[in-house]
Every structure is written in structure tokens, then in C-alpha cells.
């Protein structure tokens, strides 16, 4: 039977693929359908036809899975975030556990390993400490502040509420929209480069209740731009905006400067309060650290789950005494800093210069002096380190590490490796390479940092 794009098909969903799409069969061919879960019977429009798989867009749920739950968010299915909100949290965790196992077995061809039970998040809403909202126009061309709609770069979902950061953060979004709509300022248009307002970033210290606002604009300045921005800062820092326990502690204005043929630059103006946001982390070994987070700096997005993730790293690292530890892909140095208490010396390597600057400041702030950071590519800098490490920690971006990194790691021959990963697929591939050099997987600990999304974080201990 010939299949055609746009054809309506009926599919019973039996499992979920990595990335969150439901999987079923149509005419014996695997068919992926978005926004579905095992047990759903759906009708869907074919959007892609290949000899060994089909993709289809959900049209209607003919009969829902018995486990389906009503999503908490009124924008579910429109905004594109929190893709798994229709699935009970326990089931989301089972799914992630299974996906870690599948990645090791199918991609890494690694079987019979001990994968510990995934550690779920106590807070399944309001867990993020950072959100970005965009200015633009909604589908009715009304001034809007909210989320970019998936697959439609320029339409904005005008967001009144969001369960990811806090009620206070939603209040700031609503007050910001109100303020700028009244001033009749134009959102920036990517199509022709006109307009002023680009984005609103809100960061929250989950342990400190500090709040940082960063309003990002273009350099198409309206009349009285400085006066208006100062008025905005006065308004947001006023008593009207205060929450019982949270308060705005810094307000920045970041102006993006774009000139034809020249890379974009930016200027930052502190309009109110502190230069940085302070966040605290407390690990299970009782170790507490304070971090100063600048507007553009990277910081783990779920503070409480990051504490759990790092506690797992510390637990695995402290089963043996550590003389020298390498923290590869160290970002702002958080993992290395927590390990420094348990090691003789720690060396961190990170590509981004600004992150290393922050890492050094973090070390000073937390009076940790047995740690040094180097700026550059891991593959280039690793060979320059001289002291043989007893442990190497690897926390790469989603793409994982290269075979060259694996070889360089092996040249140091550490007894222990701890691999922190946000992508089970590249984790499984990289572990398979490490096994070729004689390492054995001792433990795999998945941690759920992002409830209602398909993201999975894992900590793996390898030894030889
Ligand atoms: C997943 S983050 C880890 C951050 C840090 N370990 C933490 O927990 O906050 C990955 C880091 O690797 C850095 N990075 C990416 N490619 C790199 C490379 N080739 N060499 C060194 N660092 C790199 C990124 O800038 C980013 O800070």
C-alpha cells in the first residue's frame, strides 16, 4: 500500500523514544507520534515517510492511556516546554531509567551493568533558577512577552503563568509587559532589525531568595531610553513588586550592539542593586559553598538537584583517597571546588575564559586554595598537566568527548574516572571507548534534573 504525506493513520503507542516521541506501528512500520504515551490510541497525519520509519503529527487521541493525567499548565502543547507533563512523574522516571539502560545496551553495546534507581526531583514544579522570556507579537499581532512558539520563530506565546521558576517570576513577566506596553515601545523584529525590546532574563537564588533581572534590548534606542529604563528599574524594585520572601536584588539592562559586517557586541548597565546574584549550594557531606553569578554566567539550572548530582560525584570520589584530581570541562568550577575539600590538589580545564574567571572568583570566595584553572580546549591542554591524577572528572557538553580525549585520559592512567553526562547516547558511546582501554563501569547513577522534559543526567564511576 502506498503511503502519502498528510494521510490520516491510526496508531497504538507502545513505547517512547529518546527525545519524548511516542512509538507505535502502522502497517508493520515504526511510526513516531509527538505528544503521546504508551497506551494511547491516536489518529495522526503522516509528515515523513521512509522505508523503515514514519513520522506523524497528532490529530486526535481516540482513546487515552489509562495513565494519562491532566497537564497542570494551561499552555501545555502550545508552548513546547514540559513535553511530558501529561505523564505521572513516577512514570517519567521509569521512562528515563529505561532510556539510560537502552542507550548503554544499544549504542554502547554494554550489557549487564548496574544502573542504580534514578533519583527524582523533590520539586517537580518551580525547580528552575533561570528563565528567558522574549518580546514580540502574539498570533493576533498584540504586544507580547513570553515564549517563542516551536517551529514559528517570530510568534510569541504571551505568558501569564509558568510553573518552571516561581510565581514571583511570573509576576515580574506580567509587570514588565504592563510597563513596556504602556510606554508603547516596540519589540525587536529579527526580519528587518527594527524595534527595541528583545528579552527578559530572570534568575533566582533558590537558597538565597535573591532575584536578578536582565532586560535585553537592541541598540535602536527610543527617545529617553535611559530615563525609561531607570523608571523600569525603580518600578521593579519598588514595594509594589515585593514578595514575602523574595525580592529583586539586581536589575541589569543589556544592550546588543549590531553593526553590519561586524560581530555583535553588548553593553551591560547595572540599573539597581548588586552586581551579581548570590546562590548557595549545600551537599550531602555538609559542604556549603556560595557562588556569585554574573548575568551571563553559566550555572546549573536546578539548584537543588545539582546539589544531589554533585553529592553523587563526591560520594563516588571519596571511596578512595584522592591526591590529584582533574576536573575537565569544569565550567565555573563547581564540581572541582566541592572535590577540593577531599583532595590534595584539583586542576580544572574549561574553554570559556569568562567561566574560568568566575571559577577563580568562586575559589577565592569559598577560601579554597588547592585548585587551579586553565583556559582552553581539553584536548590541547590536558597533555600539559604534569602531576598524574588519581581521579579524572569529565562533564562535557551534549556532544560528549572525542576519541582523542579518551586516549589522553588513558595516557594519565588514573585509577578512577567519574563521567557526568547530560546525554545518555554520547555517554554510552564514550564509555564503550573507555572500556576498550580496560576501565570497568562500577556504577551508573541517573539523576532527574528536569522534570516533565526528556532530559536525563547521569553520573558514572569507572575504575581499573
Ligand atoms: C556541561 S558543562 C559543565 C559545567 C560544569 N562542570 C558544571 O557542572 O557547572 C560543559 C562545559 O564544557 C565546556 N567546554 C565545551 N567544549 C570544551 C572543550 N573542548 N574544552 C574545554 N571545555 C569545553 C563548556 O564551555 C561548558 O562550560
- Decide: residue 102, CB within 10 A, 0-12 exposed, 13-18 middle, 19+ buried: middle
* Region(s) of the chain under CATH 2.40.50.140: 8-63
CA distances from 448 to 29, 307, 359, 445, 455 (A): 32, 12, 25, 10, 8
Q: Is the pLDDT of residue 155 over 90?
A: no
Mean pLDDT for the chain? 94
Helix orientation angle between 424-436 and 403-412, rounded to the nearest 10 degrees? 50
* Region(s) of the chain under CATH 3.40.50.150: 98-122+279-463
Look at the pTM and tell me if it is higher than 0.85. Answer: yes
Q: Measure the CA–CA gap between 422 and 420, rounded to whole angstroms.
A: 7
CA distances from 394 to 128, 301, 326, 338, 362 (A): 24, 19, 8, 15, 20
Kindly give the distance from the C-alpha atom of residue 358 to the centroid of ligand 1, in angstroms, as a whole number: 13
Residue 143 is placed in which grid cell? 504586544
| pLDDT band at residue 297 under the 50/70/90 scheme | confident
| pLDDT band at residue 263 under the 50/70/90 scheme | confident
Domain 98-122+279-463 homologous superfamily, CATH: Vaccinia Virus protein VP39 (3.40.50.150)
What is the reported pLDDT for 201? 98
Kindly give the distance from the C-alpha atom of residue 328 to the centroid of ligand 1, in angstroms, as a whole number: 7
CATH code, residues 8-63:
2.40.50.140
Query: How open is the CA angle 434-436-441, to the nearest 5 degrees?
Result: 50
User: For 260-337, where are the E strands, in sequence order?
Assistant: 262-273, 277-282, 288-293, 322-328
What is the reported pLDDT for 171? 96
Of 6, 41, 119, nearest in space to 459 by CA: 119
What is the reported pLDDT for 128? 98
What is the reported pLDDT for 136? 95
Nearest CA to ligand 1 atom 17: 351
331, 384, 409, best to mutate for ligand 1 pocket (most atoms within 8 Å of CB): 331
Residue 429 is placed in which grid cell? 558511546
Kindly give the distance from the C-alpha atom of residue 296 to the centroid of ligand 1, in angstroms, as a whole number: 15
Locate the ligand 1 atom nearest the alpha carbon of residue 355 and give its number.
27
Give the binding-site residues of ligand 1, using a 6 Å CB cut-off: 298, 300, 329-332, 334-335, 349-352, 355, 377-378, 395-397
Query: How open is the CA angle 130-420-317, to the nearest 5 degrees?
Result: 120
What is the reported pLDDT for 261? 83
Give per-residue pLDDT as tens, 114-136. Answer: 899 999 999 999 999 999 999 99
Q: Measure the CA–CA gap between 372 and 327, rounded to whole angstroms.
A: 10
What is the reported pLDDT for 324? 97
Beta strands 210-217; 247-259: pairing state:
parallel
Nearest CA to ligand 1 atom 27: 331
Give per-residue pLDDT as tens, 191-239. Answer: 889 999 999 999 999 999 999 999 999 999 999 999 999 999 999 999 8
Q: Which CATH architecture is the domain 130-275 placed in?
A: Beta Barrel (2.40)
Q: What percent of the chain has pLDDT over 90?
A: 84
* Region(s) of the chain under CATH 2.40.50.1070: 130-275
Give per-residue pLDDT as tens, 10-44. Answer: 999 998 887 778 999 999 999 999 889 999 999 99
| pLDDT band at residue 240 under the 50/70/90 scheme | confident
Helix orientation angle between 225-236 and 167-183, rounded to the nearest 10 degrees? 150
Whether 422 sits among the annotated catalytic residues: the reply is yes
Kindly give the distance from the C-alpha atom of residue 41 to the centroid of ligand 1, in angstroms, as a whole number: 42
Of 31, 82, 330, 422, the catalytic one is 422
Give per-residue pLDDT as tens, 74-89. Answer: 999 888 889 899 999 9
Q: What percent of the chain has pLDDT over 70?
A: 99
Say which residue the cell 497506551 belongs to: 39
Give per-residue pLDDT as tens, 55-77. Answer: 999 999 999 999 999 999 999 98
Phi, psi (rounded to 5 degrees) for 12:
-100, 125
What is the reported pLDDT for 7? 94
Q: What is the mean pLDDT of residues 292-317?
A: 94
Of 305, 215, 291, nearest in space to 252 by CA: 215
Amino acid at each position: 500500500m502506498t503511503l502519502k504525506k498528510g494521510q490520516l493513520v491510526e496508531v497504538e503507542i507502545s513505547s517512547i523514544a529518546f527525545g519524548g516521541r511516542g512509538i507505535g506501528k502502522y502497517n508493520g512500520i515504526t511510526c513516531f507520534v509527538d505528544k503521546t504515551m504508551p497506551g494511547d490510541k491516536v489518529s495522526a497525519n503522516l509528515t515523513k515517510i521512509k522505508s523503515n520509519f514514519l513520522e506523524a503529527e497528532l490529530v486526535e487521541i481516540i482513546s487515552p492511556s489509562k495513565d494519562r493525567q491532566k497537564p497542570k499548565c494551561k499552555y501545555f502543547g502550545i508552548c513546547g516546554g514540559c513535553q511530558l507533563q501529561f505523564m505521572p512523574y513516577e512514570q517519567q522516571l521509569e521512562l528515563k531509567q529505561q532510556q539510560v539502560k537502552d542507550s548503554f545496551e544499544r549504542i554502547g553495546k554494554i550489557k549487564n551493568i548496574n544502573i542504580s534507581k534514578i533519583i527524582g526531583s523533590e520539586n517537580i514544579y518551580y525547580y528552575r533558577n533561570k528563565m528567558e522570556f522574549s518580546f514580540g507579537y502574539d498570533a493576533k499581532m498584540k504586544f507580547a512577552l513570553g515564549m517563542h512558539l516551536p517551529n514559528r520563530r517570530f510568534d510569541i506565546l504571551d505568558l501569564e503563568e509558568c510553573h518552571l521558576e516561581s510565581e514571583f517570576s511570573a509576576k515580574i513577566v506580567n509587570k514588565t509587559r504592563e510597563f513596556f506596553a504602556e510606554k508603547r515601545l516596540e519589540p525587536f523584529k529579527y526580519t528587518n532589525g527594527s524595534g527595541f525590546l528583545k528579552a527578559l532574563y530572570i534568575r533566582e537564588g533558590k537558597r538565597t531568595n535573591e532575584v536578578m533581572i536582565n532586560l535585553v534590548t537592541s541598540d535602536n534606542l527610543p527617545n529617553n531610553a535611559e530615563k525609561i529604563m531607570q523608571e523600569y528599574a525603580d518600578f521593579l524594585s519598588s514595594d509594589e513588586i515585593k514578595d514575602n520572601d523574595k525580592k529583586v536584588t539586581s536589575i541589569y539592562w543589556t544592550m546588543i550592539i549590531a553593526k553590519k559586517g561586524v560581530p555583535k557586541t553588548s553593553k551591560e548597565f547595572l540599573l539597581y542593586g548588586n552586581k551579581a546574584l548570590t546562590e548557595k549550594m549545600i551537599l550531602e557531606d555538609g559542604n556549603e559553598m556560595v557562588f556569585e553569578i554574573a548575568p551571563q554566567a553559566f550555572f546549573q539550572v536546578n539548584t537543588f538537584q545539582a546539589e544531589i548530582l554533585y553529592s553523587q560525584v563526591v560520594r563516588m570520589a571519596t571511596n578512595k583517597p584522592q591526591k590529584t584530581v582533574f576536573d575537565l570541562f569544569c565550567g565555573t568550577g563547581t564540581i572541582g571546588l566541592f572535590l577540593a575539600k577531599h583532595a590534595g590538589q584539583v586542576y580544572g580545564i574549561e574553554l570559556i575564559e569568562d567561566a574560568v574567571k568566575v571559577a577563580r572568583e568562586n575559589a577565592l570566595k569559598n577560601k579554597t586554595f588547592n585548585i587551579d584553572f586553565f583556559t582552553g580546549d581539553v584536548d590541547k591542554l590536558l597533555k600539559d598537566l604534569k602531576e598524574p591524577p588519581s581521579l579524572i572528572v569529565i562533564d562535557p557538553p551534549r556532544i560528549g568527548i572525542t576519541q582523542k580525549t579518551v586516549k589522553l585520559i588513558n595516557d594519565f592512567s588514573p585509577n578512577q574516572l567519574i563521567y557526568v553526562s547530560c546525554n545518555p547516547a554520547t555517554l554510552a558511546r564514550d564509555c564503550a571507548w573507555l572500556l576498550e582501554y580496560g576501565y570497568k563501569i562500577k556504577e551508573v547513577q541517573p539523576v532527574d534534573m528536569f522534570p516533565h522534559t526528556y532530559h536525563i543526567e547521569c553520573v558514572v564511576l569507572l575504575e581499573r
